């Protein structure tokens, strides 16, 4: 009976989506173009190099090397193996859904237990500095100092999520005890891992490119899909209805009700929601709180990407979703605490130590983001062309 109910719900939602696409073709087209533009110009060119390099690092045993070195740190802090340090670092540098992809990859390599993978994926799927500072703070708010506050908040709150999730299924015994720092043992693990991979260098490179691009194609599909879903919900007034209930909850925290709709948009798609929050007529603190919560929650679009990646393994999605709620709570609290000591201090003087350290990094990120906007689409087309050539050669060999 339960499965029949699910069948009816899935079929009804599919019919509803098809009907809305036919009813609002112009709006759906614009939403699709908006999602495609974000994916082709920013997401694809920024994530592809990280994905390819990560595949190479795994194939050549570097991840095993990092795992041995990071074991004395990652196990006491987060109750995960040392390889979690690789996932955590790459996840922060490249942004979501990289943490989920690398966690799933290491689970498939049997370097993580199921519980360890569920702990790891809960705090390694973060936004990257390029998006937080380049797109959100500079692109939407036109204020790079706010980006520094948002980045500190995002990564600090994510760290606390990892600390909390270390107690997830804490009663389960670890497969390995915490190892001591040993470069010799790390090099031995690197060599053994490389020797176990029997693929030739050309095969490794080809597989790295094809697997990375296939993942990014799926990500692009989800970005476009949820951009369309968000637009449809607005057109049929469902979004406005739901935001009415959200505005009541926001009033408990002295947040204006007109920010409910931008917050709801951010719960579906981060980019759209952050842009709408930035355009709202409200105080900077309130907008910083909402954007921090949106970034922490990841949005249903990113969550769907994560779910599709985790579906290839036995890693459950529920711990990740719970961690997103926890991340949102931490982010809202931390950004409120740091607003005055970080953001206000940066506004009052540009000669502080924080500003002196942060300004060069912000300028570099801004230039990098502008480069992606200008050259991203060309890079994406070139990568897809290479992908097609590799696929055709692989089919010829078969």
The stretch 240-257 carries a mean pLDDT of: 85
Question: How is 69-100 classified by DSSP, letter by letter?
Answer: HHHHHHHHHHSS-THHHHHHHHHHHH-TTHHH
What per-residue confidence (pLDDT) applies to 359?
58
CB-CB contact of 193 with 64 (8 Å): yes
Confidence at residue 351, expressed as pLDDT on a 0 to 100 scale:
46
The per-residue pLDDT for range 333-357, each reduced to its tens digit, is 999 999 988 887 776 655 454 445 5
pLDDT in tens, 138-148: 878 888 888 88
pLDDT tens per residue, range 311-330? 989 999 999 999 999 999 99
Query: Which DSSP letter does residue 177 get?
Result: P
Separation CA 265–CA 233 (nearest Å): 10
Expressed in angstroms, the distance from the first to the final Cα of the chain is 45
DSSP string, 301-352: HHHHHHHHHHTTSS--SHHHHHHHHHHHHHHHHHHHHHIIIIIIHHHH-S-S
Residue 36 has pLDDT above 60, yes or no: yes
- What's the pLDDT score for residue 347? 64
Q: What are the residues whose beta carbons fall under 8 Å from the beta carbon of 353, sequence distance 6 or more?
A: none
Question: How confident is the prediction for the chain on average, in pLDDT?
Answer: 83
The percentage of residues in the chain with a pLDDT greater than 90, rounded to a whole number, is 21
CA triple 374-375-381, angle to 5 deg: 135
pLDDT in tens, 49-59: 888 888 888 88
Instruction: Give the pLDDT confidence of 209-247 residue by residue, as tens digits.
Output: 888 898 889 888 888 888 898 889 888 888 888 888 888
| Cβ burial, residue 256 (10 Å; 0-12/13-18/19+) | middle
Per-residue pLDDT of 158-181, as tens digits, reads 999 999 998 888 777 555 555 566
């Amino acid at each position: 009976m339960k499965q029949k109910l699910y069948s009816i719900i899935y079929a009804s939602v599919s019919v509803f989506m098809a009907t809305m696409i036919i009813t609002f073709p112009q709006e759906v087209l614009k939403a699709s173009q908006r999602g495609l533009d974000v994916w082709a110009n920013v997401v694809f060119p920024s994530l592809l190099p990280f994905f390819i390099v990560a595949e190479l690092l795994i194939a050549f045993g570097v991840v095993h090397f990092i795992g041995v070195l990071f074991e004395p740190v990652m196990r006491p802090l987060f109750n995960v193996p040392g390889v979690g340090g690789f996932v955590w670092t790459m996840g922060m540098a490249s942004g979501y859904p990289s943490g989920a992809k690398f966690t799933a990859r290491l689970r498939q390599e049997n370097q993580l237990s199921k519980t360890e993978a569920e702990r790891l994926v809960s705090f390694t799927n973060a936004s990257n500095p390029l998006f937080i500072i380049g797109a959100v703070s500079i692109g939407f708010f036109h204020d790079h100092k706010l980006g520094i506050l948002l980045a500190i908040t995002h990564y600090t709150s994510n760290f606390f999520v990892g600390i909390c999730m270390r107690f997830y299924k804490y009663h389960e015994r670890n497969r390995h005890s915490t190892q001591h720092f040993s470069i010799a043992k790390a090099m031995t693990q690197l060599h053994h891992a490389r020797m176990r991979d029997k693929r030739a260098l050309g095969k490794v490179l080809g597989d790295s490119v094809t697997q990375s691009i296939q993942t990014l194609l799926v990500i692009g599909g989800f970005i476009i899909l949820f951009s369309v879903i968000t637009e449809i919900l607005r057109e049929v007034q469902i979004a406005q209805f739901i935001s009415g209930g959200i505005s009541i909850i926001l009033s408990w925290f002295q947040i204006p009700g007109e920010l409910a709709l931008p917050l709801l948009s951010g719960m579906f798609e981060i980019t759209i929601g952050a842009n709408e929050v930035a355009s709202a007529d409200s105080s900077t603190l309130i907008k910083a709180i909402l954007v921090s919560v949106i970034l922490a929650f990841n949005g249903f679009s990113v969550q769907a990407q994560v779910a599709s990646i985790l579906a290839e393994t036995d890693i459950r999605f529920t711990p990740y979703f719970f961690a997103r709620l926890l991340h949102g709570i931490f982010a809202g609290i931390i950004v409120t605490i740091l607003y005055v000591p970080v953001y206000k201090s940066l506004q009052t003087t540009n000669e502080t130590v924080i500003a002196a350290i942060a300004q060069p990094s912000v300028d570099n990120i801004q230039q990098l983001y502008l480069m992606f906007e200008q050259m991203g689409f060309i890079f994406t087309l070139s990568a897809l062309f290479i992908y097609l050539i590799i696929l055709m050669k692989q089919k010829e060999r078969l």
